[in-house]
Amino acid sequence: MSAQFPKPDDLIAAYVGDVMKHLPMKQRNDVGFELRALLGEELRGRAADAGRLPDEAMTLELLQGFGRPDDVAARYHPPGVPIIPPQQTVAFAWTSLVGVALQWAVTLPMAAGSGAPNWIGGWWTSYGLGAFWWPGFLVSVTMVAAFVRLRWPAAVDAWKPKLVDRDHVNRPMYAVGLGFALLGVGVWVALAWWATTYAGTNHLAGVFEFDAEFLATRAPLVLLYWAATIALFVVLIIEGRWRSLTRRIELGLTLALCALLMWIVFGGRVFVQEAANATTEGVLVLLVIALLAEAGWKLWRGRSRIRTPVVG
């Protein structure tokens, strides 16, 4: 079989065909015809300048200099509305990656601990791939935002001042929050008493029966945390504002709660029954992740926005 060298016209036709694939249907034929003719003329012009007939190498040089077919097709399009604006690209990438990584960090140990023979395969086809719902969700949200920017540009283009007093305490709302906190403590204590008292006679109470060691060692610290939080609420309602000290106390309480919850999870059983125990431990791990994320967010938001540069 002899080697077949493509003719310059065939190379141009193949290139134009690749460009046309990326063009809108109604433009394809017209642009394709024009582009093929123009590239042919360009090639003949170059060949005349070089004083020889056009060949494969000269044609390839022309076409490669013209650009990748998809890039060339993009140049034929008017500038569109980007779904993810350039200034949001890095934040979008990080939000997507961290979201997927968090889901994997939570589900992978659960799958590994299940003891199933092919746990990694099972994890990948369920939670592993399933975690990609998050980037898809973010893309959907950004598509809606892009549509709003396109449809109502005036509504989003004009800058509006956001002078929010972050230290202001909404006393009625905090009072309601305090009420719910007290109610939660009451329900929890009542549930513990009811479950412990009736575990032997009532099936439902048996489900919620607390482990005796938990009630003796770790549970009192939960009450202590609640007491501290309620005291902080009371101070905030009285003062009507956050101060640097109360912010630091809140951060300290959050970190203390995370440490306490991790001790509760890894320091022994919470409930006597396995199902209730496993579910609670999973929920508490998720809660710790959420609390740490919230603490990190608050620290980041509370930093000095404009720092004085180092002079000299």
| Interface residues toward other proteins, by CB under 8 A | 27, 30-31, 33-35, 37-42, 45, 65-67, 72, 75-78
Q: Closest approach of Cβ 86 to other proteins, in Å?
A: 16
Q: Closest approach of Cβ 45 to other proteins, in Å?
A: 7
Q: Which is nearer to other proteins, 58 or 192 (CB)?
A: 58
Cα–Cα distance for residue pair 7/210, rounded to 1 Å: 83
Cα–Cα distance for residue pair 14/26, rounded to 1 Å: 20
Q: Closest approach of Cβ 34 to other proteins, in Å?
A: 5
Q: Closest approach of Cβ 63 to other proteins, in Å?
A: 10
Q: Which is nearer to other proteins, 66 or 242 (CB)?
A: 66
Q: Which is nearer to other proteins, 45 or 296 (CB)?
A: 45
Burial of 62 (0-12, 13-18, 19+ CB in 10 A): buried
Q: Closest approach of Cβ 267 to other proteins, in Å?
A: 51
Q: Which is nearer to other proteins, 23 or 276 (CB)?
A: 23
Q: Closest approach of Cβ 261 to other proteins, in Å?
A: 46
Q: Closest approach of Cβ 60 to other proteins, in Å?
A: 14
Contacts of 230 (CB under 8 A, 6+ apart): 178, 181, 182, 185
Q: Which is nearer to other proteins, 34 or 239 (CB)?
A: 34
Q: Which is nearer to other proteins, 72 or 264 (CB)?
A: 72
Q: Which is nearer to other proteins, 26 or 162 (CB)?
A: 26
